[in-house]
Amino acid sequence: MALLSDRIDISEDSRRICGQQIDADEKPRPEVTSSAAKRRKLRHNTTDTTRTDGEADDRNTDAAADAMTDSTSGPTLCDWMSWELSECRPQNVNDLCPEVFQIVLAKYLKANNWRKLVPLRLVCKYWRSNIDSYLASRHGFQYTGRVSKGAPPPVMNYYEFNAMLSFYPNMRQLIVKNFTVSDHLVAILRQNVPKLERISLYGCRNLSWKGITILAVRFPQLKFIDVSNCELDENRLSILVENLRNLKIMNAINPGREVTGQCLARLGPNIQDIWIGLNHLRDVNPALRALVSGNGRNLIHFGLIVSNYSTTDWSIITDNMTALKSLKLTFGSYKASSLRPLAKLSSLEFLVLAEDSRNENESVLTDESLLPVLKGCANLKSLAIAGTK
């Protein structure tokens, strides 16, 4: 039995109940009777045992019955609990109905809390089989480190990480965030999740060129990778770009101060979306020329962070990325006329402009500079502006 599919969340189903059905030959539940019926029943039982005491006893019986029926109009909670306890019989955990089993696990499944879910595998073979089936059906997981302000990322607990991945043999996507790692991380990935297609290593530092090479060679099927804030250099980023030929999406925001961007000329043929931060470079034009000299010219989505807008030759993008549908630019210094080249992107549908104007007196995002862009980008559906004064 498959424990749960990805589309079902029984913890949100308030109609599901937990309990045993009563068979026909079992003792029925206490029925709610009227006050008059209770009085008659009590009077009848009492007069059978005290009939010889005369009419005074009958009056006392009526008063007692009236007092009892006035104090309650039905079975009390204690009556109900007593009945439930009297009906309880020892039951094997394997005989629990599927609904009960699923309710027990519901809160763990919703939170995807594998630390609490895994010990439940020890209850019995039935639970172990179903929990393993559930874990095998999971295709994604997130493993995040807690970063303290001013402190380096924590060192990864490889024992825990390896134990966690061993329960997810069919994992397709993995987020490992904010850890100080080593090449041992790649060895664990290679051993446990060979089907991985999407991976984010955001903020994971200290991967050597050897670890990066193993990652790129052992996972050629990767379609998405995020190496933002990983402190890479040009050589290690180049290894990823050259070997991941099936890559469709790459995030490399602040990948490392030694990245020059020349490796972008060797992107694979399936690349569609790049978000890269080159704000550590004084001159980003060589990197942009390298990007459009290869498969980067076919990008559909492009995000770029630069420190100096005014020195950037935007015609490199507007003259070559003719298929571009969405563009996100984050920039620092500027000139009032710098937005005009963007008007050439006639196929553009989504445009995001964010400026860091902390050290500037004027904003480039004025009506005068935006109107030519709006006129030239006839297919524009959305314009988002952030950071203006």
Q: Is 120 exposed, middle or buried (0-12, 13-18, 19+ CB in 10 A)?
A: middle
The answer to whether residue 67 scores a pLDDT higher than 50 is no
pLDDT on residue 20: 29
Instruction: Please tell me whether residue 310 adopts helix, strand or coil conformation.
Output: coil
Radius of gyration over alpha carbons of the chain, in Å? 35
Can you name the residues that pair with 373 across neighbouring β-strands? none
pLDDT on residue 3: 29
What are the Cα distances from residue 150, in Å, to 105, 145, 147, 153, 259?
A: 39, 15, 9, 10, 24
By C-alpha distance, which of 268, 269, 287, 286 is closest to 277? 287
- Within the chain, where are the H helices? 35-50, 55-71, 77-87, 98-111, 114-117, 125-137, 158-165, 184-192, 209-218, 234-243, 285-293, 315-318, 367-376
Question: Across the beta sheet with 140-144, what order do the strands follow?
Answer: 140-144, 173-177, 198-200, 224-226, 249-252, 273-277, 301-305, 326-331, 350-355, 382-386
By C-alpha distance, which of 348, 359, 257, 368 is closest to 308? 359
Those residues whose C-beta lies under 8 Å from the C-beta of residue 59, and which sit 6 or more positions away, are none
Mean pLDDT along residues 297-316 = 87
Mean pLDDT along residues 311-321 = 89
Helix, strand, coil percentages in the chain from 3-state DSSP, rounded to 5: 40, 15, 45
* Structural domains of the chain, with CATH: 35-87 (no CATH), 95-137 (no CATH), 142-386 (3.80.10.10)
Q: Under a CB-based contact definition with an 8 Å cutoff, are residues 49 and 56 in contact?
A: no
C-alpha to C-alpha distance for 86 and 263, rounded to whole angstroms: 76
Instruction: Please tell me whether residue 316 adopts helix, strand or coil conformation.
Output: helix
By C-alpha distance, which of 221, 226, 230, 172 is closest to 200? 226
pLDDT on residue 342: 87
Average pLDDT, the chain: 75
pLDDT on residue 122: 80
The residue type found at 64 is A
pLDDT on residue 314: 86
Instruction: Please tell me whether residue 246 adopts helix, strand or coil conformation.
Output: coil
Residue with tokens 């073979």: 125
pLDDT on residue 49: 43
C-alpha to C-alpha distance for 58 and 35, rounded to whole angstroms: 17
Give counts: helices (H), strands (E), the chain. Answer: 13, 10
The answer to whether residue 330 scores a pLDDT higher than 80 is yes
Q: What is the pLDDT of residues 287-305, one digit of tens each?
A: 999 999 999 999 999 999 8
Can you name the residues that pair with 355 across neighbouring β-strands? 331
Report the DSSP pairing between strands 198-200 and 301-305: unpaired
The answer to whether residue 370 scores a pLDDT higher than 90 is no
C-alpha to C-alpha distance for 176 and 227, rounded to whole angstroms: 10
